[in-house]
Chains A and B, each alone.
Chain A
């Protein structure tokens, strides 16, 4: 995992004097901004002072001469760390810095922006995005259905537990991406293979969190329903599933992340379309700006799908005591 990470700069690096300390200040302030919902540009304190001032629950801190600029600062604040990263990127790539890490072949932000602009007007880019999203939706959707059904069965039936649990335990430690050769042999098209790998990876978080949700359901809900005359099906649809939704959705969130990792990896190895395939091909063609465009697109898609899962979860589980926060 840690082989290619161009971002973290060495603080003592010659070309960015004093940048390390500044970044830390910005991050600490951004966090305190979320916590207290009122802050301004920090007075020129040192990083350590800011960190200690941000946390001991001080809700109202007077900002002295910075009061009037507070609103602007608040709007600008989340952007600031990103700008710092961008600036670092610009400096390192334009300067073609080679100091243990080599930035000489990496594209500059400007080159990436140009490449992105070109992609946004090309049809194949959207085809690639669509192909990946389709695979995600199929794999993740299948994993959701099969995972919840399996989880409920294992969690509630002794027979199912005895039959299915060992299979889950044996196959769970296998990283889905290790199934690529098998998937190529098994499935007639690589498309189906990729969906299968995505499904395989996304299945376990859903199934396991559903099983745990079954275990943590308060007994009294089901007992109350039974004394009111609920039969098996009614208990399942009215008690078990709604009550397990918080657990199921935490599994779905994890599973969506895992699904993206696997779709991209599988596309890089055996795909014909898809944003992972695009990224890997750009690398092969020495189109490094294209690689970064691919990375950013994957990030955006991952963010978008995670957001959708989060939103649906928040709606379904609106009754949780902390849902409004």
Chain B
């Protein structure tokens, strides 16, 4: 396993006045400092531009202003170390689960002979050792997201960008996937930027939860979770209190009332 894991841990992510806009309308404007190896959850109303932030980090969008840095280097120069798990079905449907993972290994420059074994190890890590030769069309939604996670890990990312990855899954599968993510994260210790609109998910996964304002997305409040990912935390009154606090931020924000009145 260790040679699969062989990543150099997480990278520190610094967003300094990062501004992205579409057609002159600002979509996001954020300052954030994420220490290496942290799970940071970006939480906001849907359509607020939280995905935009991830896409800028992944190099899929060019910011209008500000900087996005990994360990002090601009992301444009270290793009391959930011890997992304998408909410949509991002697997290539003409490749089997194993060959999807192998594609990422090819792009990383892994030798042909080593690819198969490494792909199988990665699939085993996400619990899919028996499904390596299945085509994406034959797998359930949860399994496809597992393959996507394995494929993303195959790039040896130092930052894992997750754009509502479990948003389309049923409650049970979603909970399994959250646990799987935590397990994998414990092994790799990558920095994780996780976007969701699900408050429970945010509180269960994050070291910190960043509540964003409606469009343009700005940091509204940063909530520290004292003992992150502690089993059974969701049954404690403290959890409910934070949940209430966040829902209040999301629902009763005067900004949102203004935008919804204007829109």
Contacts and interface: CB of A to CB of B under 8 A. Distances in A.
Interface stretch (A121-129, A190-198, A224-232): A224-232
A168 B90 CA distance: 33
B210 interface: no
Contacts of B94: 242-243, 245, 317-319
Given A227-B58, A228-B155, A229-B80, A218 B104 contact: no
Contacts, number: 61
Contact of B86 (A223, A238, A239, A243): A223
Nearest to A323: B137
Nearest to A230: B107
B93 A319 contact: yes
Contact of B137 (A227, A229, A321): A321
Interface in A215-270: 218, 220-221, 223-230, 234, 238-239, 242-243, 245
Contacts of A230: 107
Given A223-B90, A242-B94, A228 B83 contact: yes
A266 B152 CA distance: 55
Interface string A11-35: 0000000000000000000000000
B57 to A, nearest CB: 10
Nearest to A221: B92
B84 interface: yes
B137 A224 contact: no
Interface residues on B, range: 20 to 34
Which of B93, B94, B108, B135 counts the most chain A CB atoms within 10 A? B94
A227 B92 contact: no
Interface residues on A, range: 20 to 34
Contacts of A229: 79-80, 107-108, 155
Nearest to B58: A227
Given A229-B80, A319-B137, A224 B155 contact: no
Contacts of A228: 80, 83, 103-104, 107-108, 151-152, 155
Contacts of A220: 86, 88-90
A229 B152 CA distance: 11
A321 B138 CA distance: 9
Nearest to A316: B94
A239 B94 CA distance: 10
Given A220-B89, A221-B92, A227 B108 contact: no
B20 to A, nearest CB: 15
Given A229-B80, A238-B103, A319-B94, A224 B86 contact: yes
A225 B152 CA distance: 10
Which of A238, A245, A318 counts the most chain B CB atoms within 10 A? A238
Contacts of B92: 221, 238-239, 242-243
B60 interface: yes
A221 B88 CA distance: 10
6 contacts: A220-B86, A224-B86, A226-B58, A228-B80, A228-B155, A319-B94
Given A227-B60, A229-B108, A319-B94, 20 more contacts: A220-B90, A221-B90, A223-B84, A223-B86, A223-B90, A225-B107, A227-B83, A227-B84, A228-B83, A228-B104, A228-B108, A229-B79, A229-B80, A229-B155, A238-B103, A242-B92, A242-B94, A318-B94, A319-B137, A321-B137
